[in-house]
Amino acid sequence: MPKRTRLEQQLLEKAARYLPGASTGNTSYPDSLKFLAREGRGSRIWDVSGNEYVDWLMGSGPMILGHAHPAVNEAVIKAVEQGSTFFATNERAVLLAETLSQAMPCAEKVRFTTSGTDACFQAMRAARAYRRREKVLKFEGAFHGTSDYALMSVTPAAGDEYPQARPSSGGIPAAIQDLMLIAPFNDLDTTAAIIEAHHDELAAVIVEPLQRVLAPQPGFLQGLRQLTARHDIPLIFDEVVTGFRLAYGGAQEFYGVTPDLCAVGKIMGGGYALAAVMGRADIMSRYDQSQAASGEYINQIGTLNGNPIACAAGLATLSELRKPGAYQRLRETGGRVRQALADTCARNGISAQSCGEDTIFDVFFSDQPVTSYRDGLAADAGMMSHLNAGLLERGILKAWPQKFYPSLVHTDEDVARTIQAFEAVAPGLRG
């Protein structure tokens, strides 16, 4: 169990006093394991008490090059010296827009935002302006940020009938339920039936091409592309997580399916507050007041949109990812950890389903395949909590409850230490 210094204990008390839930809203750990991050270098982070962790959380994905990467630091320092922000189109934003457009198959035009939440929200808004329709279909259990629309049916009860939407947060207007339709991920037949019944009302279909850690079944994304194209319904890929992680060209490249719009964030900002909505020029023209027809113009303003410091970090990060062998190394590292976790469970007689891809993955403690949100509900959540707690006690940090995010700086030592922790924790999971 990591020890806490008096300083960290005092800061944790202040967190409880000043922050709802004693957190910034992103992570929640048992009281005995709560810590405050102080610094990160490479694949490790340290808390205020000086305890070291092998970091598989990696800032929830963006730190694919590791913490404090020299190339990113150098680019950021140079940018800071030239000014923090301008509220005007700047050189680095233009260069990053060009880089993104060259990387992502669907990206003819780019509009910057500051978060994945906003990028997904903007993609839905752009589709509504283009289609002049209001309803959007999303998939049960998918997370597209924290807008009112996105937080429908993220964590619904298993008994809800499709396509009924349910709010997964307080404070969402009841009217939003009528604007969102819900379908089951990886169930093309049910999805097709919903789209055929509501195609005249639909502005868009939005999907995480890899939903949390659930990989698409063969033909699912291709079928979704065909269904939406048939009715000229924009298909939106939420690539906030998968962009530049599954491949340099994101899930679009990795799975070979090109959407009409996509939202990207995390990796493309190099760890800074930056995201973007990208896509077909005819849809994205709604952001151009001189091109949009009356009533179609989208008024999108953000003080830090295309912030030059964030763009500098993004340009440096993507430059590193273009180096030969980067994605092979990323997949090899992730694949070793993923296989070790599955093997450890098997040796200990624990039923577990390995899900995801080698660059982002986890297990579900279930004896049945998990391909959808409702499949995951049948998994043993208590065992997952015990696994996460046991790993954290041994200095292994991952997303809670699920996701390992491999990086290019995780070492053989990191992998060995993680596997050792698996082997120590697994025997106690069934008890």
Q: Is residue 292 scored above 70 in pLDDT?
A: no
Name the band, by pLDDT with cuts 50, 70 and 90, for residue 188. very high
Name the band, by pLDDT with cuts 50, 70 and 90, for residue 419. very high
Q: Is residue 301 scored above 90 in pLDDT?
A: yes
Residue-wise pLDDT for 70-123, tens only, equals: 999 999 999 999 999 999 999 999 999 999 999 999 999 999 999 999 999 999
pLDDT at 276: 98
Q: Which fold has domain 70-321?
A: Aspartate Aminotransferase; domain 2 (3.40.640)
Residue-wise pLDDT for 143-183, tens only, equals: 999 999 999 999 998 888 999 999 999 999 999 999 999 99
What's the chain's average pLDDT?
Answer: 96
pLDDT at 203: 98
Give CATH 3.40.640.10 domain extents, the chain.
70-321
pLDDT at 157: 87
Residue-wise pLDDT for 230-275, tens only, equals: 999 999 999 999 999 999 999 999 999 999 999 999 999 999 999 9
Tell me the percentage of the chain whose pLDDT exceeds 70. 99
β-pair type (202-207, 235-239): parallel
Name the band, by pLDDT with cuts 50, 70 and 90, for residue 2. confident
Q: Tell me the average pLDDT across 278-286.
A: 96
Q: Is residue 420 scored above 80 in pLDDT?
A: yes
Give CATH 3.90.1150.10 domain extents, the chain.
6-68+325-428
The CATH superfamily holding the domain 6-68+325-428 is Aspartate Aminotransferase, domain 1 (3.90.1150.10)
pLDDT at 430: 78
Q: Tell me the average pLDDT across 335-360.
A: 97
